[in-house]
Structure formats: C-alpha cells, structure tokens
C-alpha cells in the first residue's frame, strides 16, 4: 500500500466582513464598491420587495457604473426549496454570470438563505452580499453565513456555511415592513438579550413600545446590539461546533412548529417566540430560572403580540418533528436552556417526562 | 451609520488527508476507523457497483462494529443532477442520518461528485470518505474536493469545494472495470504527465501496454504518481485561484464535447482525450510545442484507443458551449496550453482565428 498525503492547511485568508447599519444606506453604493470584483452583479429579490426597492437600488448601482441583472422570485417560506433555487441557477446561466459576478440578496431571510446557498454552489462559489430588508434578516439571518433551503421533511436541512463579503442594513427599509413581520423579527432581538446580555434584555423591556412603533433610534440600537452579539458568537464558532448553538434558543421547538403548521403559516419569529417560552418552561422545571424570570419572558412576548402558546399537537408528534432537527446526536435531541436571563446553556439530557410536561403545559388549550 | 465587524480568521484546523493506494484495500476497514466520528455510515453507490462490491464492504464494516445504510443510485453521467441528489437527501433523512454520520462514496466519478456534494450540503456539511472504483475517479475526481452536479446548460456548474476525510483506492476494483472505462481513465493519467512531469509521460509511453492489460504494478504506479501530482497542485491552490486550473488541460474543449453529445454518450476521459489533442493543436499553432511533440501526444492517445478527433459541430456551436464553462472571465474563455511536454500554462488571449483553425483541424471529417 502506498499513501499520498493531500496537505491542506487553512489558507491565511481573512474572511472578516463588515455589517453597515444605518438609515437610508441602500443608495450608498460606495460602501459596496470595494467588495465587487467585477462591475456586474446579480440581484436576487422577490415579488414583494422588488416594487419597493429594486429600481431605486439598480439606479444607484448604475450611477456608479455597475450593471445589474435582477432575479425576482416568488415570496414566502414555502418557496425556500430546490425549485426556487433552480430558478436562480437558470437565470444566472442564461445571463452568463461568472465566477466574479457578485450575488446580492435584497430581501428577507428566505431571499438571503436562498441567495447565499446559490452563491455557495453556483460555479462552486461566487461572491455574495446581503442587503436584508426585514428586521429578522437584519438581526439574524443575514449575519453568520448560514445558508440553505428547506426539505419536505424539515427546515434548513440542506445548505452550506458561506459568508457574505459584507452586509448592508438599511433600517429605512423597515418602514414598509408589515406589522406582523416586524413583531416576528423582535422575537430574535429578545433572544440575544436572553442568551447573552441581561442589560440589553432590560433595555428591551423598557423600549418595547419604541420598537413596535418603529422609532428609528431604538430600532437602530436594537439591530446594532443584536448584530454585535451575533458577530461575537459567530467569530468564536463559525461552523457551530459549540457556543454558536446557543443562538438556537427556542429554535428546536420553533422548527417543529413551523414544520407542523406548514412553512409560512407561522412566521419564523412567531414560532421562535412560542419555542422560547417552551425552552424557558423547561429551564424553569429544571430550576435554572424562577417563576418571576419566566413571567418576565412571557410578558415581553405578550406585549409584542407574539404567540406564547404552541399549537396543539400530540407530544409524540412534537418529539418526532424535533428529531428531524440538524442537531440531533445519536438520536438525542439537543436543547438550549436558560441558566438565567442573559445566559444560555446546551443540554442533551432532558428527562423524557420533563420534556413531555413542557409540551403539555405550553400548548394552547383550544 | 454604525459598523459591526464579523471577525473571521481561518481556523487553525488541519484538513489534510491521506490517499491509501493498494491492492485489496476494500476490506481493510481499520484504515477507515480513525476517520469515523460515529459508528454509523451511509454508503452511496450505484446499480453497477453495488452487486460487485457493496456486500463485501458492508460485511467488512460490520466485522468492525460499523453499521451502514446503503443508498443505491442509477448509474451514469446523465443521473448527475438535482433529482438524483435529492434521492440521497431523502434516504439520509428517512434513515435519520446525523451530522456525525459519514457519507462514503463507493463508485466512479459521478458517485463521488454527487456524494461529495450531498456531504457538503446535508445539514450544512457532514464527514465524507471516497472509495473510488474506476481509474478515472482514482486518479482524478476522488482527490481534491471538487464536488457537484451538472445543469442542463453545462457540466459541474453547481457544486462545492468539499474535501474528503480520506480516500481509499483499491486498485483490485479495476479488474471489473469495463475496458472502455479503463481506457478513458488513462486519458487523465496522461494529462498529469503532460502538464507536470515529462519523465512520467515518457514512462507512460513505454508502459502503455501494461496499463491497458491491467498489470497491477504498472496500474498502482500510474495511480500513485497521478495522485502525487494532483495532491501537490491541490495543496498549493485548493479553490482554483491559480495553478489548479492547469489540471483542466483538455477540459474546456472536453466539456463542450460532452455537453454537445449529451452527457454519457462520450465518456469524460474520451472527451478529455480529444480535448487534449485540441489544446495541443492550439499550443502547436502558437509555437509552444513542435510537430514532433504533437505527434507523440496523438500517438499515445491512439495507442490507448481513445478518440483524437472531436465530433463534427460548427465552430460557433463549440464556442457557445465553451462560453458556458465555469472559468469564463469577462466573457473570455480560459485555455490551458502546453509550453512543452511536462509543463502547462494558462491563457485568456487566444486569437479567434487561431481557435477557429484548431476547431476545424481537430474535428472528425465524416
């Protein structure tokens, strides 16, 4: 036998990237220019966002000598699949987009995840920029390089870690965001306080009205602090070997809810809200947090108008949906729990009876 | 405007991996064990290879306490597409394969590329091992981490760079390889001599009969030297920013031939053989190599029984197919040329008339 070694040490390349956050940044194309290897980009957006921001953005690009191709997809979580991904590939090939053509995601989380996955796999990888236009995408999905699509059996089961070259967050785009989506996005903002920053959580409790009424300063501060926390965690653990898993507070339950109800029926943030209550209930049962902490958590979600009860399913249905989660190991489901408000932990060892109790307690009665 | 930085420096991780080459290695499961994070693997193979080697391999795994799931795909280049990839995902999910379940590709280049791409994207990445069973896969596609699928508009247009944990090359599997596929695989072996090692090319000229008649020692030496050259090039340039492109000698023409004829009609190695003659013809026209070098190159492919003429198409059809190649930049096609036998170079600047002359000269007359 002979052995040949393929010697692959990580390249020295610095893949760090900036997130620019502010009001009316969409036309500040000078922020993008240093990140474009070619004076041609492909903008991927959807039928909801295109009429609002596409022309404005393309004209701004044109003023800087950048020509663009637009790919307009149908809107909604139920389009986050192979078929839609293939629409992107077909358009990129028809338009002769090359390895140096940058893909720009202009839209919410679905557009960002689809475009990022397309960028990761088109010609084995092309440059990618995120311009998130929903609160959820601005505080969560546009940062950190998780990309992917859903499979009929579960959410985000197919995908890649693929980092953008930059993120441009124009909080002015939130003025056109439907109220329900704004509220769903706040669920992820609250998550950052719960897992990492008790002071931020308290600030959110005090400023919840400002968030809901879209006070620009309060929104910018909330987005910025959320991105800081996410950036810190992603830098420590890019591919979710450890601490990054804490970002999934409420998500194991939440994904089961989204899957059970059919993608798009519950918004992701709504499912995360109910899922976070379930995780908090588990944490309370295990005596990490007390009743008053639990009440604070329920109360903030209620004030936002987010669901605090899970849809009624049999506990076995929940368990079998949760076992489809990406993070199952040797058949055991991984849960993110709250040690206290401002600190999360991971556990693979939740007694079955405790979990069942949480499922039964947290389900809506009707 | 505020800026948050996502600080991502390359991880320190050493992703180097071994290629084990020898006779009757398939049952040497002890070579695999150190690379399996879980005592469970999913073997992806096809309807041709499964009856030959699957049971033998699974029994060997079982003797070492490794349980396996088998996913048997239809055979052939025309199945290297989304539909077949989805068959893998469906099976992995139905069998509850997890992030630590290793995917093992047991088969030729199509199986390796499909399985590698599935491993790169299932749950955003799971461990992957290559067990190539064709000469082409053993000397080329199993090494270096290129994975992917074809698109109706072109070959390997969708994919990822994703390295295996190890490659296990059992040259005994070549005893069952159809003669036509053996000969097609030799085309890639010759490529290594042409681009990097004139002595190896000369050794191949002298040992061509031994290769065709499957002399075990000669095959092992050819595989080993091919893997050494590929490993060296991949280590220097994992994601094809530069020198790795030289491995594509004959491939820009070759992919156009495969695409024009319909995937699977010409074997990849056959298309590469004709494509290499075309690249050699270009190199001769540009006065890098002389007539006698060109004749040596034609002669070795002829002795193997590989095509030295391209199928008859209009030059414009060739050009438009070649422009679908992944490596087109600003609309210009990239060619790999021979400076001399044993040294290749890249060029974006081939005069249109020279290219047309090569296309017309190298096409079959009938």
Domains and CATH numbers, chain A: 19-176 (3.40.50.1970), 179-231+241-362 (1.20.1090.10)
**pLDDT, tens only, A257-287:** 998 998 789 999 999 999 999 999 999 999 9
Q: Identify which of B38, B99, B161 has the shortest CB distance to residue A124.
A: B161
**pLDDT, tens only, A110-158:** 999 999 999 999 999 999 999 999 999 999 999 999 999 999 888 899 9
Whether A327 is catalytic is: no
**pLDDT, tens only, A301-343:** 999 999 999 999 999 999 999 987 777 777 788 999 999 999 9
- The answer to the question of whether B35 is labelled as a binding residue is no
Contacts with A38 from chain B: Cβ below 8 Å? 330
**pLDDT, tens only, B32-63:** 999 999 999 999 999 999 999 999 999 999 99
Whether A240 is catalytic is: yes
Contacts with A143 from chain B: Cβ below 8 Å? 6
**Adjacent-strand bridge partners of B45:** B72
- The answer to the question of whether B113 is labelled as a binding residue is yes
Listed residue (A137, A21, A143) closest to A80, CA to CA? A137
Instruction: Evaluate if residue A1 carries a pLDDT over 80.
Output: no
Average pLDDT, chain B: 93
Q: How confident is the model at residue B70 (pLDDT cuts 50, 70, 90)?
A: very high
How much is the pLDDT for B366?
57
B31, B33, B35, B39: CA torsion to nearest 10: 150
Q: Identify which of B4, B10, B122 has the shortest CB distance to residue A231.
A: B4
What is the nearest CA distance from B298 to chain A, expressed in angstroms?
30
Instruction: Evaluate if residue B13 carries a pLDDT over 70.
Output: no
What is the nearest CA distance from B294 to chain A, expressed in angstroms?
31
Q: What is the C-alpha separation between A6 and A272, in angstroms, rounded?
A: 43
How much is the pLDDT for B186?
98
Listed residue (A246, A215, A216) closest to A230, CA to CA? A246
**pLDDT, tens only, A56-74:** 999 999 999 999 999 999 9
**pLDDT, tens only, A155-187:** 899 999 999 999 999 999 999 999 999 999 999
How many beta-carbon pairs under 8 angstroms link A with B? 200
Listed residue (B73, B238, B76) closest to B164, CA to CA? B238
Contact A158 B122 (CB under 8 A): yes
Q: What is the C-alpha separation between B331 and B340, in angstroms, rounded?
A: 27
Average pLDDT over residues B263-267: 87
The answer to whether A85 touches A117, Cβ cutoff 8 Å, is: yes
How much is the pLDDT for A155?
84
Q: How confident is the model at residue A12 (pLDDT cuts 50, 70, 90)?
A: low
Q: How confident is the model at residue A364 (pLDDT cuts 50, 70, 90)?
A: confident
ipTM tops the 0.95 cut: no
Whether A146 is catalytic is: yes
Instruction: Report strand pairing: B2-6 vs A17-22.
Output: antiparallel
Kindly provide the residue ranges of all beta strands, DSSP E only, lying in chain B, ordered along the sequence.
2-6, 17-22, 40-46, 67-73, 102-107, 128-132, 146-151, 154-161, 166-170, 335-340, 343-347
How much is the pLDDT for B330?
78
How much is the pLDDT for A366?
57
Q: Which residue has the higher pLDDT, A104 or B365?
A: A104
**pLDDT, tens only, B95-135:** 999 999 999 999 999 999 999 999 999 999 999 999 999 99
Average pLDDT, chain A: 93
First CA to last CA across chain B, in angstroms? 67
Instruction: Report strand pairing: A146-151 vs A154-161.
Output: antiparallel
**pLDDT, tens only, B303-323:** 999 999 999 999 999 999 998
């Amino acid at each position: 036998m002979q052995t040949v070694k393929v010697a692959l040490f990580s390249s020295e390349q610095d893949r760090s990237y900036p997130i620019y956050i502010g009001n009316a940044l969409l036309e500040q194309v000078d922020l993008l220019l240093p990140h474009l290897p070619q004076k041609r980009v492909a903008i991927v957006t959807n039928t909801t966002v295109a009429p609002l921001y596409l022309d404005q953005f393309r004209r701004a690009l044109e003023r800087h000598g950048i020509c663009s191709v637009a790919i307009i997809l149908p809107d909604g979580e139920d389009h986050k699949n192979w078929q839609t991904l293939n629409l992107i590939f077909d358009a990129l090939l028809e338009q002769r987009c090359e390895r140096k053509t940058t893909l720009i995601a202009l839209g919410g989380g679905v557009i960002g995840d689809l475009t990022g996955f397309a960028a990761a796999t088109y010609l084995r990888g092309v440059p990618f920029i995120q311009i998130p236009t929903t609160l959820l995408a601005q505080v969560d999905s546009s940062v950190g390089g998780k990309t992917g699509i859903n499979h009929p059996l579960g959410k985000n089961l197919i995908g890649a870690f693929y980092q953008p070259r930059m993120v441009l967050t124009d909080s002015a785009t939130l003025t056109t965001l439907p109220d329900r989506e704004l509220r769903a996005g706040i669920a992820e903002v609250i998550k950052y306080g719960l897992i990492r920053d008790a002071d931020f959580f308290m600030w959110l409790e005090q400023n919840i009205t400002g968030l809901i009424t879209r006070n620009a300063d309060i929104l910018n501060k909330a987005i910025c602090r959320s991105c800081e926390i996410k950036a810190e965690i992603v830098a420590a653990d890019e591919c979710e070997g450890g601490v990054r898993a804490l970002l999934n507070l409420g998500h194991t339950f939440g994904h089961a809810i989204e899957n059970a109800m059919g993608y798009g029926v519950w918004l992701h943030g709504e499912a995360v809200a109910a899922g976070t209550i379930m995780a908090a209930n588990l944490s309370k049962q295990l005596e990490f947090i007390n009743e008053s902490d639990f009440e604070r958590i329920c109360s903030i979600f209620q004030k936002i108008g987010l669901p605090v009860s899970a849809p009624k399913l049999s506990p076995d249905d929940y368990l079998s949906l949760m076992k489809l989660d990406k993070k199952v190991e040797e058949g055991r489901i991984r849960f993110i729990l709250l040690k206290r408000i401002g600190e999360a932990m991971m556990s693979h060892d939740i007694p079955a009876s405790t979990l069942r109790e949480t499922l039964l307690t947290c389900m809506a009665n009707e």
